[in-house]
């Protein structure tokens, strides 16, 4: 059992409207892992409501009860929207959840670029329910370097790039992955019909973080879209993924084709949250969130 001081974990509030105004805490039923890598603090604990929870730098990443929402919505709307996703790049994603979902599709190659090698090791040991056997798949190659450095060596190569990184805090570990310069590099790396998706922010911070990231992606890519999802273990619930494409209008994809693709893949793989209906509904936003 944790010590008396460790019985409760209170999340560090990300920048935005919530900073210094709200506390978000979880009771630690069992402390599973606590340590510090070369890049960030890692905490994993069990909670009787949410199950196992992982936190990086005192921010909740997901829980066992809702990780499928995050990982499935980040992956499947864009992979089903692409006509033939073969080469996929994942930047971040050291827990293996995004990788697990990507491998449900008929991809040929997946490069996973995770700067923090220790996160992968910890995930294999304590988050097996997330990564399963995805890291050992023959289609996967793991690179322990920064995503912005890795893509400099590629041009017109990937069909899909998924940026599964931490929050966009200034001077934070992932700050460069939200810059206009990074999105311009991504555009050069993607093929003509390529798609990028990245984590946005809470809709409480729509006018700052969400809108800012959307506008940066829209400056580089002809088409951009926001996907809304609700994570019970996240601070203030509703969050966003933001995607961009040079050629594919993500807001008007053919859902008949998506339904056919989903039906085919569903014969072999299970989906806990995603469906074509969820895909469609995730793009329905109230007027004050439309861009």
Span 1-58, pLDDT tens digits: 455 556 999 988 766 677 667 889 999 999 999 999 999 999 999 999 999 999 999 9
| 111 included as an active-site residue | no
Inter-residue contact 264 to 238 (CB < 8 Å): no
Please identify which of the residues 66, 159, 164, 205 carries the catalytic annotation: 164
Inter-residue contact 195 to 78 (CB < 8 Å): yes
pLDDT of residue 53: 98
pLDDT of residue 237: 75
pLDDT at 174 over 80: no
The model's pLDDT over 222-281, given as tens digits with 9 standing for 90+, comes to 999 999 999 999 987 799 999 999 999 999 999 999 999 999 999 999 999 999 999 999
> Domains of the chain: which residue ranges?
4-63, 67-289
Burial class (CB in 10 A: 0-12, 13-18, 19+), 142: middle
pLDDT of residue 176: 81
Model confidence, pTM:
0.93
Cα 21 to the center of its chain, rounded Å? 26
Cross-strand bridge partners of residue 159: none
Inter-residue contact 197 to 163 (CB < 8 Å): yes
Q: What is the CATH number of domain 67-289?
A: 3.40.50.150
pLDDT at 165 over 90: no
pLDDT of residue 22: 81
The mean per-residue pLDDT over the stretch 210-214 comes to: 93
Burial 66-95 (b: 16+ CB within 10 A, else e): bbbbbbbbbbbbbbbbbeebebbbbbbbbb
pLDDT, mean over the chain: 92
Least confident among 54-63, 125-134, 232-241 = 232-241
Topology at the third CATH level for domain 4-63: Spermidine Synthase; Chain: A, domain 2 (2.30.140)
Residue 161 vs residue 15, higher pLDDT:
161
pLDDT of residue 170: 60
At which residue do the structure tokens 């220790």 appear?
118
Confidence of residue 171 (pLDDT cuts 50, 70, 90): low
Instruction: Tell me the torsion sign for CA atoms 272, 209, 243, 13.
Output: negative
The mean per-residue pLDDT over the stretch 183-189 comes to: 95
At which residue do the structure tokens 């105004």 appear?
21
Inter-residue contact 163 to 196 (CB < 8 Å): yes
């Amino acid at each position: 059992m944790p010590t008396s001081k460790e019985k409760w974990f209170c999340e560090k509030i990300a920048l935005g409207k919530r900073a210094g105004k709200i506390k978000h805490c979880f009771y630690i039923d069992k402390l599973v892992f606590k340590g510090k890598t070369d890049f960030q603090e890692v905490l994993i604990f069990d909670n009787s409501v949410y199950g196992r929870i992982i936190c990086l730098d005192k921010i909740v990443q997901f829980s066992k009860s809702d990780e499928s929402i995050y990982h499935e919505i980040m992956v499947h709307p864009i992979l089903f929207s692409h006509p033939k996703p073969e080469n996929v790049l994942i930047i971040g994603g050291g827990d293996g959840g995004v990788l697990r979902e990507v491998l449900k599709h008929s991809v040929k190659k997946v490069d996973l670029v995770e700067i923090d090698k220790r996160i992968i090791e910890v995930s294999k040991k304590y988050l097996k329910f997330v990564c399963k056997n995805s890291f050992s798949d023959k289609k996967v190659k793991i690179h322990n370097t920064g995503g912005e450095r890795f893509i400099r060596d590629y041009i017109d190569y990937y069909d899909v790039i998924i940026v599964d990184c931490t929050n966009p805090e200034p001077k934070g570990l992932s700050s460069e992955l939200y810059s206009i310069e990074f999105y311009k590099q991504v555009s050069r790396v993607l093929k003509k019909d390529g798609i990028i998706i990245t984590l946005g922010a809470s809709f409480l911070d729509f006018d700052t973080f969400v809108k800012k990231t959307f506008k940066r992606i829209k400056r580089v890519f002809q088409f951009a879209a926001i996907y809304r999802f609700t994570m019970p273990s996240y601070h203030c619930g509703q969050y966003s993924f933001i995607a961009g494409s040079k050629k594919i209008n993500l807001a008007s994809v053919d859902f008949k084709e998506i339904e056919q693709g989903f039906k085919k893949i569903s014969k072999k793989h299970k989906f806990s949250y995603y469906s074509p209906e969820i895909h469609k509904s995730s793009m329905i936003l109230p007027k004050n969130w439309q861009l």
